[in-house]
Every structure is written in C-alpha cells, then in structure tokens.
Amino acid sequence: WRKKQSLGRTWLRRPELLERLELDEESKTLLEEFRQEHHSGSE
C-alpha cells in the first residue's frame, strides 16, 4: 500500500522521474492501479 501511494505521489508531482526509471512489474501494476483510482476519483 505504501509503495503504491509513494509511486502515485511521485507520478502526480514529478512524472519525469518515473519516465526515466525502469520499473519492475509490481511497480508498474501498482502505478497503473493508482492512476485508475486517481482518474476515477477526479470525475
């Protein structure tokens, strides 16, 4: 849960940092879940 929140906050504040990183499959999945939750919560 913390990792997902951390990745999500980084994506919101500093997306360029994540673009340069090679994320493992777990991190990619967590980030995608965060994006979907954030998107659905903002509508």
Residue 36: what pLDDT? 92
Q: Which CATH architecture has domain 2-41?
A: Orthogonal Bundle (1.10)
- Please say whether the beta carbons of 26 and 4 come within 8 A: no
d(CA 42, CA 29): 20
Structure confidence by residue, pLDDT tens digits, 18-42: 888 888 999 999 999 999 988 876 6
3-state secondary structure of 19: helix
Orientation angle between helical segments 25-41 and 2-13, nearest 10 degrees:
70
User: Using CA atoms, how far apart are residues 43 and 36, in angstroms rounded to an integer?
Assistant: 11
Q: Is the pTM of this model over 0.75?
A: no
Each domain of the chain, given as residue ranges in start order, spans 2-41
Tokens of 29: 């999945």
